[in-house]
A and B are shown apart, each in its own frame.
Chain A
């Protein structure tokens, strides 16, 4: 490229460029191509992924709480990623771990790999929910509430009738199930079928979405009587890996029942005011499983006052 003549000049006569080579790199210009830093970062990421998978619990309730916390920290991407392929619907984008999932972990396998998931009816439900949005999801919440009773039939007519009946019934938790404000208007509680919603987004039968917008809940067909407590109800059709659970498991636990990872996620979200799920000492999970129908219903209840307002802020 260059045709030049190379000439050797003694150093004593080579003063000109010698004054230019004393400049050290300017301050603030850090080098980003250090391979050691890259290796350290990659190893740290791998260690973090492995530790996260280790904390991925095999317990249904803990998994619910974990996914709830993860979903709550996911700002805008959930609805935009609903249309992803089945293999990508397992977790929100930033929590997908792909091949890092150990095949020896049966629960993680059933939760995260698409081969065991995505029945055809779930796919249909996903498409329907994507079209109808939150309102449809809230409407399915009534079905979820109805399925808490193992004897509840599954047909639409029966569900509609059940909605009418359960609206006036007490679910046995000793609380008033209708929300009545000072003007006497009756509002439905915050019903969101989290599993249906999770199926719509992830094809994951046990990943939960955050509590719904109160206004959406008011406009929904999901009715119940919870004066003080809002309710998150979930329903899944594919709970074959939970068949060892007995019927009507009612489990109450507080923050200390969660893994540290879950609690850290939730608390950090609350501190940053970017999220809206507040898991406090009133956090309850009621789990009803009907092995005969292979249906699993989980309702998460916590005070509606602060949580609902934060949920509004998130969805709005």
Chain B
């Protein structure tokens, strides 16, 4: 396991974030009942998308019992909050999710949390 960690840390595939360019930075987020995983990537000069950072967070028992809609929104919140250290200063941030209804939940918030969120 230590060898694997060392190999990943010193992997040439991982690059640093280039804040000086307008190349898009992608935050790809997905979740399950176990936790949330996210990958931070950026388009490089050679046209390839290279990973910058990646991480995962496990849910506790209470969080794992959230509804699916709430969990989809909650994972986005967690990913943004955890990676905010790297995202601040990014000019072009694109968040990739596999649930289309998150857009509607964010665009049309109710005064009170709706059934899916609550």
Interface positions of A (Cβ within 8 A of B): 1-11, 14, 16-25, 31, 33-34
Known contacts A1-B84, A8-B100: does B58 contact A23 (CB below 8 Å)?
yes
Interface positions of B (Cβ within 8 A of A): 27-32, 34-39, 51, 54-56, 58, 60-62, 80, 84, 87, 92-100, 102-103, 106
Residue of chain B at shortest CB distance from A35 = B62
Q: Are B98 and A14 in contact (CB under 8 A)?
A: yes
Chain B residues near A21 (CB-CB < 8 A): 30-32, 34-37, 56
Q: Are B94 and A14 in contact (CB under 8 A)?
A: no
Q: Are B55 and A2 in contact (CB under 8 A)?
A: no
Known contacts A6-B102, A25-B58: does B37 contact A19 (CB below 8 Å)?
yes
Chain B residues near A24 (CB-CB < 8 A): 34-35, 58
Tell me which of A10, A19, A21 has the highest count of chain B C-beta atoms within 10 A of its own C-beta: A21
Distance between A76 CB and nearest chain B CB, rounded to angstroms: 39
Interface class of chain A by DSSP: loop
Tell me the bound Cα distance from A20 to B103 in angstroms. 23
Q: A9-B96, A14-B98, A16-B30 are in contact. List 10 more A-B contacts (CB 8 A).
A: A8-B100, A16-B39, A18-B30, A18-B37, A21-B35, A21-B36, A21-B37, A22-B34, A23-B35, A31-B61
Chain A residues near B92 (CB-CB < 8 A): 5
Q: Are B95 and A6 in contact (CB under 8 A)?
A: yes
Chain A residues near B56 (CB-CB < 8 A): 20-21, 23
Chain A residues near B34 (CB-CB < 8 A): 21-24
Q: Are B97 and A9 in contact (CB under 8 A)?
A: yes
